[in-house]
Amino acid sequence: MLSSDQTSKPQSDAVDVFWHEGMLQHDAVQGVFDTGINPGFLDVLEKHPENADRVRNMVSILQRGPISPRVNWLPGRLAIVSELLTFHTSDYINKLIEADKSGERREISAGTFMSPGSWEAALLAAGTTLSAMQHILDSHGKIAYALVRPPGHHSQPTQADGYCFLNNAALAVKLALDSGRCSRVAVVDIDVHYGNGTAEGFYRSDKVLTVSLHMNHGSWGSSHPQRGSVDELGEGVGLGYNLNVPLPNGTGDKGYEYAVNELVVPAVRRFGPDMVVLVVGQDSSAFDPNGRQCLTMNGYRRIGQIMRAMADEHSNGRLLMVQEGGYHVTYAAYCLHAMLEGVLKIPEPHLEDPVAYYPEDEAVAVEAVKSIKRYHSEYVPFLRGT
């Protein structure tokens, strides 16, 4: 729960952060990276990359960092089963409930471990995200950030995947649509991995535009059959409303900005949403152990600025941000702070980048984006001629 010094009165142009410390209960596993394997010849086993420390730093940088006066803290809550069933199947939810009742640590899918406390944390992540969306729908604020774990965007309607049990962002999108207050929602996912679960859930819908910018990793097994390639466009009436932007490794700040401006901004403008959801992963950073996309704080700041401008243009400023990956315990928090500086239109950085970063050459990324744009122009009906 929130302590008294974490609450603050609402103010103009602030971000409303939804958080519940119960999400720290989720304890994945220790071993070799995310496998949980102890090979027997290592003295030091590392924490699973999706561990509580990374989120503790995100909370603390917003509590005590330079933009803390512009952060309003609001409590999260547990989701209830009926809410989960708006996106997930009953068979899948029952499977998770039974796994939790066993009281044993289980690997639900590759690299995705459920331990005692994990199910409650997952319910809190889902409920906290739903509270953030409801807050916007009820006109209590326009900019909300669901600071949640475990993450959700790989979780499909029928299975867990990629450290994710419940698809927090997708549940919030369903709430927005089912409320009758939104008819079209744009979801922009900048996590380093394809937001395959969200895409799968809305693959046959023309009410949700899902755009995912990710490294070109392809499928990683039975839990992640989607490839994230440009030809995964949706089906039926949803054809063209799932746009994938697989970017070359090492794309960097300038390459990401080019991709967002050339592909995301025009697609969202054509789509015309009345709600914008930004799915945030700091694992696209230069120092993340799970990705190689070389974004720095400057890159996240620019993305924040562009997303705020899109929300101002299309959804009357309504922007929900949902936390996903980001596994460098220190740098992920710094990148989050930089992104929120951009969202809040803070003109100059309040924090210097604490680490040197790799030199970047956006030429390869620019050519890749041009190729994707030509493909979209030919095969995506509502983007023809762009």
What's the whole-number average pLDDT of the chain?
95
Could you give the strand order of the β-sheet that contains 185-189, starting from the edge strand earlier in sequence?
Answer: 71-75, 15-19, 143-146, 319-323, 275-280, 185-189, 208-215, 242-247
Q: What is the pLDDT of residues 324-369, one digit of tens each?
A: 999 999 999 999 999 999 999 999 999 999 987 778 889 999 999 9
What's the chain's length in residues?
Answer: 386
Say if 78 falls within a structural domain: yes
Asked if the peptide bond before residue 116 counts as cis, ω within 30 degrees of 0, the response is no
Assess whether pLDDT exceeds 50 at residue 128: yes
Same domain, 72 and 211: yes
Same domain, 347 and 367: no
Same domain, 226 and 371: no
Owning domain of residue 376: 361-385
Share above pLDDT 70 across residues of the chain, in percent, rounded to a whole number: 97
Same domain, 248 and 301: yes
What CATH number has the domain bearing residue 92?
Answer: 3.40.800.20
In the block, tokens 């003295």 appear at: 43
Same domain, 320 and 183: yes
Specify the pLDDT at position 12.
Answer: 52
Question: Does 154 qualify as catalytic in the annotation?
Answer: yes
* Domain total in the chain: 2
Torsion of CA 377, 379, 381, 385, to 10 degrees: 20
Specify the pLDDT at position 385.
Answer: 80
Q: What is the pLDDT of residues 254-277, one digit of tens each?
A: 999 999 999 999 999 999 999 999
Specify the pLDDT at position 147.
Answer: 99
Q: What's the pLDDT band for 161 if we cut at 50, 70, 90? A: very high
Catalytic residue among 20, 26, 48, 154: 154
Specify the pLDDT at position 27.
Answer: 93
